[in-house]
Structure 1
Amino acid sequence: MRQNIKLYQWNFIKEAKDAEQAAAATGVPVTVPHTWNAIDGQDGGNDYYRGTCWYVHKLERPELTPGGRAYLEFNGAAMTAEVYFNGAKLARHEGGYSTFRVDITDYLLEENTVAVSVDNADNDRVYPQKADFTFYGGLYRPVNLVTVPECHFALDYWGGKGIKVTPIVEGTGAQVTVEVWVKGNPDSVAITLDGKQQTVPVQEGHGQAVFHIENVHLWDGVEDPFLYTAIAELPDDRISTRFGCRSFAMDPEKGFLLNGRSYPLRGVSRHQDRIGVGNALTPDMHREDMGIIREIGANTVRLAHYQHDQYFYDLCDEAGMVVWAEIPYITMHMPNGRENTLSQMQELIVQCYNHPSIVCWGLSNEITAAGGVTEDLLENHRLLNDLCHSLDKTRPTVLANVFMLEIESPLLEIPDVNSYNLYFGWYLGELDENDAFFDEYHTRYPDRCIGFSEYGADANPRFQTARPERGDYTEAYQALYHEHIIKMINERPYLWATHVWNMFDFAADGRDEGGEHGRNQKGLVTMDRKLKKDAFYLYKAHWGKEPFVHLCGSRYVDRAEAVTEVTVYSNQSTVVLYVDGKQFAEQQGKAVFRFQVPLSGEHTIEARAGEHLSRIFVRRVSQPNTEYMFFKTGDIVNWFDKEDFKPGYFSIKDTLGELGAQPQAAALMGQLMAQTSASRGDVAESVKDNPNLQKMMMKTTLESMLKQVRDMITPEQVKALNAALQQIKKPE
């Protein structure tokens, strides 16, 4: 019978010229899963080690039945791996997020040496190469030794399990086609489903059975994620897979439909890393992530920007999460990377086909961010789109488009459905520009499905304020941003899916902003999963079913204002506020409740909703606490007196377009732009290379742009710039 043995203990060698040298090296003992970038990939500087490292394991010869085979199974080797067995190179795999197997049977000795080179170095062939997250290197998912008898279910087809289940719901029943692929020339295979068994012939290594389930129990999202199990058996081998029966559709007006009814997809995106661990997550960590996603009340997860651990897809199946699955074809199109996009997509679909949670295949993400739309890029997407449809007749394809891509671009005509990543109100522009964008898209293309695949604002919980504004990295601005966005989403039911960017803070070693090095802080939860930001509870108030109440601003203790605004999030209709044990006010409402509370000293404030309670402590101070400020010299608007802005002359309050049209003003602005062009993440970096984004930026005031880079400039520099602009008279 089949055996699956985990290979935990390996020797890690950072530098070796070849497999022979690696096998002889002393190295460092490590436990796989392992990444060598757990620390340097998260501390900023964009200097984490990207190169080739080696893993070596000593393996005793496994017991095999006559004709049996032995495979090494790698569930994640980032990004390119070469496998050497007893000195012989047996395999090369390009792509760091999928499973691949290597048949070692014919090379087995009594004592064996496995040497694996793993390479995450920069190249022009293997995705990802440019994106706003860390490309961890290592054997960061389990490695297994799999032994099977002579007649066994196939293990060497794109990392799949050898079983494929296609359910089609028909009225109150379902037709379920089960296909299997086998090795060793068996005559037949037994397939069992829902208590019924069929023995079907095997022809050219393939067997197929069709079952009809009457009164089918549907996989019905978070309310009832029922799973069936299909079992396939040979005389000495057995495999099984879970699946779900459901129907779904995306409608240009009604949004997402599950099992014939409206089912708005409202949820989050997720990256697979943690502080001090990198992407070498344990099952407990995966379960904790799913628990937090369930707590917030989400019903969909965008698993970005690559194939995730099979265990997490299993958790999504069990929880009823609707999943967007995608490959890491991201940010920058590489002409030499076409074959890699196709192979990574083939692996994603073959390995993940049976998961009922998955409803679409993502072709790419923000692929025009670092360049324009070319014919080669379009052809790459056409080939990917055709590949998806050839492998899977049941799921649509989707694109996540960067916000500066024109809605009339031919790229949007390729996938079945589209989504946009918009960051108006954070990287540039105003919050209501998100509303206007979707209104324009829906008006111009009423027959196209459109979704909201990314949106968010960075927040460092250390930073607090009574006057939140774009670019301040405060917890309060993040909450205010999401208050606007969720209202906008609720008013537009045609959005087939919306995904907050992101559920958790994640590593982006090239970042240095918002008081943290090497981190994207758009998460609703911190990277260590220990702190839920206030915006987390806003979504819980809109989506969550379990009654609760949350008082915002618990980390904003020292308050200089005489009257402070207290915000409460709750999914209950009535909230009562108490100040120092006495009832202060009662409100009826939905999700968001605000109270104006006078401050005179130290106060304990409580919010109650039925039997649920939340409490914070605040105190009145004479001056704002500078520890709460991202830029401790104060906001840009406070650097000037009213007389610093003479009417009829240019100033930082003018738009970039207005300033750019005047040669002297444009030169002054250009000097500042050159100084502040680094460390802003890939979306911000792409401004200089993208005409469409430049066009959008022309509507933004210089003052607004400066607030985004306030960590890179001094008050003196801004005052000097404004003074110089004030010497330039505007045209009559």
Structure 2
Amino acid sequence: MIKKLYFRAIICLSILPLAVSGQTQNRRTHVNFDAGWKFSLGNASDPKRDFNYGIGNIFSKSGETAGTCIATDFKDSTWTNVKLPHDWVVALPFQYVKNDDIDSHGYKPVGALFPENSIGWYRKTFTVNKADSGKRYEIQFDGVYRDSKVWLNGYYIGGHFSGYNSFSFDITDFIKFGQKNVMVVRADATQSEGWFYEGAGIYRHAWLNSYNNVHFKTAGGLFAHAEVSDGKAQVTIEADIENRGITATEATLYSYITDRNGKIIATGKQLPFTEAIRENKKLTDEMTIINPRLWSLDDAYLYRAVSLIKSGGHTIDSVNVKFGVRTFKFDSEKGFFLNGKPLKVQGVSCHQDHAGVGSALPDELQYYRITLLKEMGVNAYRTTHNPPTPELLDACDSLGMLVMDETRLLTSGQEYEQQYRDLILRDRNHASIFMWSIGNEEYATHRTDIGKRIAQNQILLQQQLDPTRTSTYAANMGNVYRGVNEVIPVRGFNYNLSGIDGYHKEHPLQPIIGTEVASTVTTRSIYVKDTVHAYVPDYDVTFPPWASTAETWWKITDARPWFMGGFAWTGFDYRGEPTPYRWPNINSHFGIMDMCGFPKSVYYYYQSWWTDKDILHIAPHWNWKGKEGQPIEVWVNTNADDVELYLNGKSLGKKEMTRDGHLVWTVTYQPGKLVAVAHKKGKVIAAKVETTTAAYRIVLSPSKKILLANGEDAVVVNATVVDKSGREVPDALDLLHFDIKGDAEIIGVGNGDPSSHEPDKCSTGQWQRSLFGGKAQLIVRAGTHEGNVAIVATGTGLKSIELPLVQKLK
């Protein structure tokens, strides 16, 4: 029997190094290592074309790498200059091969069948000052896809097989101080990990860390949790301190908490300790926040905690962390509670790629995507089916989005148990995470006794490393209490919602959540089935046999207080796993938004019932030349009380709106104006679609107009066209050309067309993309100099536009 679960009073922190202000022996640094890399494809089947890897005996003697690209004197002048994050697969052409794996990965020619595209080599040269030779140095990669190996100055440092977990290596012993250092990384993507687009390369950030020999560990070095009661948050801080010096050390740990403005609001004790050589010392301190400001979806307030290690009268290491205070509870009869208030989980599952950039997203795109989801009414994000990039969690922390953090596989072998350990240690301090997921749909395992034992191991590991949260498993089976489900604290349902009532009745003490639901397939702006182009209608009507419409699952969820809510599949379209078609379709149709983040019609269904906004949306558009006199099905999504529809001023009838539903009219098409007039609590709301004339000029809409000149910032620019009356043309397919003036660069283009084979990367420098459903998108990365930037868009027969942007250093 599973006990009724209550999880309360949780604090989460994310370790952020103090800003660097000069190199000293006592200053921790966390330096971005993204710039200055050289890249070349290798070859998985021909060692000669793989720079002699496999025939040069590089593992027989330490540091002997002559004749390979690992050698420090290798000439890499012909290699391509790249800046991280870098995904080499997104730039490959689409290629049809009758193979399930290639199909599921979006018809990109990567993997064992394409040895010439499946090995990537990276080289980077850097220097470290002689004055800093007493510190320890660490290389940190937030994600390399996949099976990576790292060398420094010809010495093998280590390998990491996962394409999703962060990892780091101590490189102190191999650095040449005051001289040129050469780091080499080999990524082997011949073997995939998932059945969706995964990309390849160093597709997340890299960092060069330095710190004292006595220091907070990078992974899990600081963890905080709390009990909240009577207007107080009792904070417990756990520090994991490592001594890598050559002598024992006497030191003191001291911590304090500030508000977001830096004012100290709580102080800890001076905790003296002695640490032997190679010892890890774990210390605990407590302090109290009076009347804490609770982190919530609408007020994502983050405090800061500062912990310092002092020795000999000096601070020898310190970390500055952001954290949020909040409580949550899982109740098997009443559902989920955040800060003591009931909250239905209105979630989405998402993969990590985006149009134009593949898996190598600039940080700004993480914030852009989470903002789009919040505008829709989403309050929870499931990281399917792998550990996310840390910047996604930062965005959720600061914008107010709950996260279900999911590991890649349900297994407890040594390597994969370590992967799950690393995930928890890295992410457990994020305010946004409310639950862990130990895996997804492991059909060969999850109903068995082996699955039960694996799950029990992973659950106990999670409870050891993070007792403040609970865990679930995404189980694609109905009313089945066997294997994993016997031990998992929160039962997760992937689809099979017809079984939740029976399961709840039979297991009333086990909370239930929909870990994956819906899977409606739609193509933005297409309203008829088109098997030639592999499109499906942009109505909430088409779904695979295992799934349901959005409306079906949400009505089930909204009617059951004990059902905590769920995660719709998916928030955005993603490359790969084309459904219900295959080639020429190269990405999924599951998204509530397309790969660019442009909303589909179902977006407005969710927005109607997941927000308090005044929503009134009409589908389809009203450009149907050649269909005069034919019936058009018109859907209206709204949270109003009633809606009356008018065509060219003539009423087509008034209909009452029922909760969690939508309205439909069958309208005989004639060009003109289709208007919906709704009443909501005595207020009148109106919306319209109307027939446009031909596209006349281009419109560019940026996500922001000021960029930081740091070489990392980015802006999303959406392109549309309007007619001479200024009306957006919703069915335009014009080919647009893009150029940029100033110190910035276009790094990707897209349009959301799930069957488009146009390149996301334009290698010739001539950037272009066709509109799809009247829309396209380009992503621009900032340079490093202050000044004006301009994006120019042109198209045949269209009035061009020049969009001004500004780059600033601060």
Q: Please, what TM-score do these two structures have when normalized by structure 1?
A: 0.74
2:688 to 594, 615, 618: 615
Aligned to 1:56: 123
- Whole-angstrom distance in 1 between the partners of 2:685 and 2:250: 62
Supply the distance in 1 between the matched residues of 2:638 and 2:157 (Cα, whole angstroms): 58
Secondary structure of 2:527's counterpart equals coil
Partner of 2:472: 398
What's the offset of the Cα at 1:517? 2.7
Q: 1 or 2, which has the higher helix percentage?
A: 1
Using the alignment, how far apart are the partners of 1:300 and 1:372 within structure 2? 25
- Residue in structure 1 matching 2:409, options 329, 335, 349: 329
Instruction: Give matches, 1:189-588, under 5 Å.
Output: 189-194=253-258, 195-198=265-268, 199-204=270-275, 205-219=281-295, 221-234=296-309, 235-329=315-409, 338-368=413-443, 373-403=447-477, 407-422=480-495, 434-455=496-517, 456-461=519-524, 463-465=526-528, 473-478=536-541, 481-508=549-576, 513=581, 516-529=584-597, 531-554=598-621, 557=624, 562-582=630-650, 584-588=652-656
Q: Deviations over 1:661-715 (max 9, x none)?
A: xxxxxxxxxxxxxxxxxxxxxxxxxxxxxxxxxxxxxxxxxxxxxxxxxxxxxxx
The question of whether the paired residues in 1 share the 8 Å contact of 2:150 and 2:184 is answered with yes
Question: 2:419 is aligned with what amino acid?
Answer: Q
Alignment map for 1:14-33 (pairs within 5 Å): 14-15=41-42, 16=50, 17-18=52-53, 21-23=68-70, 24=74, 25=76, 26-33=78-85
After TM superposition, give the deviation of residue 140 of structure 1 in Å. Answer: 0.5
Q: Judge which range, 371-380 or 92-101, deviates more.
A: 371-380
SS in 2 for 1:67: coil
- Per the alignment, residue 70 of structure 1 pairs with 137
Give the letter for the 1:196 counterpart.
A
Amino acid aligned to 1:48: P
Aligned-partner Cα distance in 2 for 1:597–1:362: 44
Q: Distance in 2 between matches of 1:148 and 1:42?
A: 45
Q: 1:55 to 1:611 in 2, by over 3 A?
A: farther
SS in 1 for 2:614: coil
Q: Give the count of matched residue pairs.
A: 588
Gap change, CA 1:193 and 1:600, over 3 Å in 2: closer
SS in 2 for 1:222: coil
Q: Which runs of 5+ in 2 are unaligned?
A: 1-26, 43-49, 54-64, 103-107, 112-117, 244-248, 259-264, 276-280, 310-314, 543-547, 693-730, 732-810
Shift in Å, 1:340: 2.8
| Aligned CA distance change for structure 1 residues 463 and 346 (closer, same or farther; 3 Å) | same
Q: Does structure 1 retain, via aligned residues, the 8 Å contact 2:353–2:359?
A: yes
Per the TM alignment, residue 305 of structure 1 is displaced from its structure 2 partner at its CA by: 1.0
Partners of 2:646 and 2:675 within 8 A in 1? yes
Q: What amino acid is aligned across from residue 238 of structure 2 in structure 1?
A: E
Q: After superposition, give the CA deviation of every residue in 1:38-80 in whole Å (9 maximum; x if it has no partner).
A: 1449766405323432111111124554621122111111222
Partner of 1:704: none
Is the contact made by 1:42 and 1:134 (CA closer than 8 Å) also made in structure 2? no
1:508 Cα offset (Å): 1.7
Going from structure 1 to structure 2, the CA distance change for 1:445 and 1:40 (only over 3 Å counts) comes to farther
Distance across 2 between alignment mates of 1:141 and 1:3: 19
Contact 2:525 2:620 in 1 (8 A): no
Taking the aligned partners of 1:515 and 1:104, their CA distance within structure 2 comes to 46
After superposition, residues 655-666 of structure 1 pair within 5 angstroms as none
Distance change in 2, residues 1:521/1:203 (3 Å): farther
Conserved in 1, the CA contact under 8 Å of 2:578 and 2:588? Answer: no
The answer to whether the 8 Å contact 2:308/2:317 transfers is yes
Q: Which runs of 5+ in 1 are unaligned?
A: 123-127, 423-433, 620-627, 629-732
Tell me how far 1:386 sits from its aligned partner.
1.5
Give CA-to-partner distance per residue, 1:259-315, whole Å, 9 cap, x none.
223111112112110123111000111111011111111111111111111121122
Deviates more, 1:595-604 or 1:312-321: 595-604
How far apart, in 2, do the equivalents of 1:312 and 1:416 lie? 26
Structure 2 counterparts to residues 712-723 of structure 1, below 5 A: none
Same amino acid, percent of matched pairs? 24
Give the corresponding residue for 1:164.
Answer: 223
Specify the code of the residue in structure 2 equivalent to 1:189: L
Q: Cα–Cα, structure 1 residues 560 and 415, in superposed 2: closer, same or farther, change >3 Å?
A: farther
Match of 1:179 in 2: 238
User: CA deviation digits over 1:135-175, x for unaligned, max 9?
Assistant: 322100111112223443223xxx34x21111222342221
Instruction: String of CA shifts for 1:70-123, please: whole Å, max 9, x gaps.
Output: 22111111222211001111111232222222222221111111001112232x
Q: Which amino acid aligns with 2:304?
A: T
Cα distance in structure 1, aligned partners of 2:241 and 2:213: 10
| Cα distance between partner residues in 1 of 2:652 and 2:577 | 47
1:96–1:317 Cα change, 3 Å: same
Q: Distance in 1 between matches of 2:667 and 2:198?
A: 49
> Conserved in 1, the CA contact under 8 Å of 2:530 and 2:536?
no
Distance 1:493 1:39 in 2: 47
Structure 2 counterpart SS, 1:459: coil
1:153 corresponds, among 211, 216, 220, to: 216
Q: Relative to 1, partners in 2 of residues 1:64 and 1:570: Cα closer, same or farther, differing over 3 Å?
A: farther
Partners of 1:297 and 1:509 in 2: how far apart?
26
Structure with bigger strand share is: 2
- Contact 1:542–1:571 at 8 Å: present in 2 too? yes
Once the two structures are overlaid, the 10-residue window that deviates more, 517-526 or 581-590, is 581-590
Q: In terms of mean alpha carbon deviation, does 502-511 or 268-277 score higher?
A: 502-511
**1:43–1:518 Cα contact (<8 Å) kept:** no
Written as runs of structure 1 = structure 2, the 5 A alignment for 1:135-154 is: 135-154=198-217
1:206, distance to aligned residue in structure 2 (A): 3.2
SS of equivalent residue, structure 2 residue 325: coil
Secondary structure (helix, strand or coil) at the match of 1:245 reads: strand
Aligned position for 1:13: 40
C-alpha contact (below 8 Å) 1:563/1:596 kept by paired residues: no
Partners of 2:366 and 2:236 in 1: CA distance:
31
> Counterpart of 1:329 in 2: which secondary structure?
coil
Q: Deviations over 1:551-571 (max 9, x none)?
A: 122278365775544221123
1:106 matched to 2:106? The reply is no
Distance in 2 between residues matched to 1:444 and 1:66, nearest whole Å: 64
Alpha-carbon distance between aligned partners in 2 of 1:264 and 1:312, rounded to the nearest angstrom: 22
Distance 1:371 1:106, change over 3 A: closer
Alpha-carbon distance change, 134 to 487 in structure 1, aligned in 2, over 3 angstroms:
same
